Amino acid sequence: MRAAPLIPLLAVLAAVWACTPAAPTPSPTATPTADPEIPNVVVLASPAAPPHMDVHQEVAPSLISLGPGISYSRLLRIRSGPDADPSILEVECDLCLEWDILDPLTYLFRLRPDVLWHDLPPVNGRPLTAADVVFSLDRLRTPGWPGASLLQSIASVEATDQTTVTVRLSYPDADLLLALANGQSKIVAPEAVAQAVDLRDGPTIGTGPWVLDEMGPDGARFSANPAYYEPDLPGLERLTIVSIPDASNRLAALLIGRVDITIVAPDNWDRLLASPAPVESGVFPQPGTGLLLGLNVTRPPFNRLKVRQALFQSLNPWQALGATWQGHGQVGLGLPASSSDWPLTLDEMRMYLGNSDVARSLLAQAGVELPLAFTLTVADFGPRHLALAQEYLHMLEQTGFQATVKPVNPRVYAEEVWDASAFDAFLGPMPPVHTPNAFLFGLLHSQGRWSLTGYFDPELDSLIETQATAVEGRSGLIRQLQTHVLEQAVLFTPITGTSLWAWQDRIDGFQPTFAASEYLHWARLTLRGG
């Protein structure tokens, strides 16, 4: 990492803390705080420090969207702000002015003419060019690097002229725009890479709203980019990001006013809500994340359709969500949606879930001996996961199932469920599938990396393959395949992922989108009365 330590920042901290009364709750150590000489500043607490600074060689949020990665821009981004739906992956221009799809294999991007690199050596504030974009996307596609799979459909990237980039595909890819908007798809300066060989130790030089001033083991300090191309952004003069690994310490730092905004662990949510501190809070969706419940269709008893359907109808996931998960999340298939007309409605979902009378009837039709025993493998990620499993067990007992819960630690869960499909049924985290095609091809296609359930249907495979290349008419295909999976009772998401945040009430404009490692929302923060 950049050698410059946070000595000035920590000196300020020491002075501030020396005048602060002792807190009754634990507080973080070595936490940078706001410079009193710069009133328009916010301190953001992150759960982890970045492992290094090369944004193309790491997918950790501590780098990509809660660290040095916020200094960069992309061709496209996921919409955030007051008019955006954070549950939908809606793409808009970042470095581009517009894009055209010339044919299913050819995309044309016209760049903003007013974009300057940060005024730092060796780039020194020169204008962004199409060649920079070509260099960055080709670098991101380096075989074996974590972002390479995002852009695997790309055959070539060319600079048609100084402000025009042409992307040619090897095959049609309806997720290409999402891939280019992903937080990993940063545009980096060729001179910076040439100087450092890689960017693990910096320099961090981008075209984004934040200029990295200092980096140390406990945090980073950013200043507003005076040459940023979007008017009135960023809304702050400075943003400081500090690493506080312990969740209780992060919350304590917020409640006593030493940080301004932080992610909150679920176990600390009730403590936050009970606090008299002048803070606000929110629950934000994280599409493509959450829990999955799946059934192994290759072994009894779930090799029989009516039995699988009976299990789905035995479960009321909406009731369980409120009882064990504080109501955080939604019920669905789990598919990250790129359009508001993709998700099935509540009434459509309820056709396949939560009707115990239908469940009993299906088991009677199946002619199975009751109680019907099976093992539910549960990822033991804490008491909420086990509580949810117990809630489901109670529901299943009411209709004729007899489930045995098998809690396993995260490592064993990955080995038995993700790698070996060694289960009757499972309940646990979704594999890393953050785009529609990654989800569909990874989890539901018969040849998918995480085709955990063993379900094979040429009709479903065909639907998945067709929608993957459908720039037009994709929504209808997406809804059709969701219905198919629920009718076949293969898997669903009883709880979609959410991100819990809290912030000081003086902060305005915190309207984030956390899908696909989005981060522009930090630039939209302002201070009330500032």
Pairing of strands 210-216, 372-379: unpaired
Quote the pLDDT of residue 530: 61
In this predicted structure, the answer to whether residue 1 has a pLDDT above a threshold of 90 is no
The answer as to whether 1 is a domain residue is no
Q: Are residues 480 and 520 in the same domain?
A: no
In this predicted structure, the answer to whether residue 63 has a pLDDT above a threshold of 90 is yes
Per residue in 21-30, pLDDT (tens digit) is 333 222 333 3
Contact 478, 435 (CB under 8 A): no
SS3 292: strand
Quote the pLDDT of residue 102: 95
The dihedrals phi and psi of 521, each to the nearest 5 degrees, come to: -60, -25
Place of tokens 């972002």: 147
Range of the domain at 386: 286-497
Assign 434 a pLDDT band (cuts: 50, 70, 90). Answer: confident
Q: Running DSSP on this structure, what letter comes out for residue 344?
A: P
The answer as to whether 223 is a domain residue is yes
Range 469-495 average pLDDT: 94
Assign 504 a pLDDT band (cuts: 50, 70, 90). Answer: very high
Q: Are residues 85 and 177 in the same domain?
A: yes
What proportion of the chain, given as a percentage, has pLDDT over 70?
92
Q: Are residues 179 and 240 in the same domain?
A: yes
Quote the pLDDT of residue 471: 75
The answer as to whether 2 is a domain residue is no
Q: Are residues 255 and 291 in the same domain?
A: no
Per residue in 65-106, pLDDT (tens digit) is 999 999 999 999 999 999 999 999 999 999 999 999 999 999
Count of structural domains, the chain: 2
Q: Are residues 354 and 427 in the same domain?
A: yes
Q: Are residues 51 and 166 in the same domain?
A: yes
In this predicted structure, the answer to whether residue 362 has a pLDDT above a threshold of 50 is yes
Assign 37 a pLDDT band (cuts: 50, 70, 90). Answer: low
Pick 4 or 169 by higher pLDDT.
Answer: 169
Q: Are residues 192 and 230 in the same domain?
A: yes
* CATH assignment at residue 412: 3.10.105.10
Q: Are residues 302 and 242 in the same domain?
A: no
Does the predicted TM-score (pTM) go above 0.85?
yes
Quote the pLDDT of residue 218: 86
SS3 150: helix
Q: Running DSSP on this structure, what letter comes out for residue 409?
A: -
Tell me how far CA of residue 95 lies from CA of 68, 79, 92, 524, in angstroms: 18, 14, 10, 17
Q: Running DSSP on this structure, what letter comes out for residue 88?
A: B
Q: Are residues 249 and 343 in the same domain?
A: no
The answer as to whether 484 is a domain residue is yes
Quote the pLDDT of residue 2: 38
Cβ contacts of 319 within 8 Å, gap of 6 or more: 354, 391
- Spatial CA neighbour of 359 closest among 308, 399, 397, 305: 399
The answer as to whether 517 is a domain residue is yes
Contact 314, 393 (CB under 8 A): no
β-bridge partners, 294: 426, 491
Q: Are residues 432 and 518 in the same domain?
A: no
Contact 123, 92 (CB under 8 A): no
Per residue in 186-195, pLDDT (tens digit) is 999 999 999 9
Contact 493, 429 (CB under 8 A): no
Q: Are residues 396 and 513 in the same domain?
A: no
Q: Running DSSP on this structure, what letter comes out for residue 431?
A: P
Query: What are the b/e assignments for 118-147, b being 16+ CB within 10 Å?
Result: bebeebeeeebbbebbbbbbebbbeeebeb
Quote the pLDDT of residue 97: 98
Quote the pLDDT of residue 28: 31
| The token pair that represents 144 in the structure block | 């074996």
The answer as to whether 229 is a domain residue is yes
The answer as to whether 189 is a domain residue is yes
Q: Are residues 248 and 368 in the same domain?
A: no
* CATH assignment at residue 61: 3.40.190.10
The answer as to whether 401 is a domain residue is yes
| The token pair that represents 97 in the structure block | 């002015």
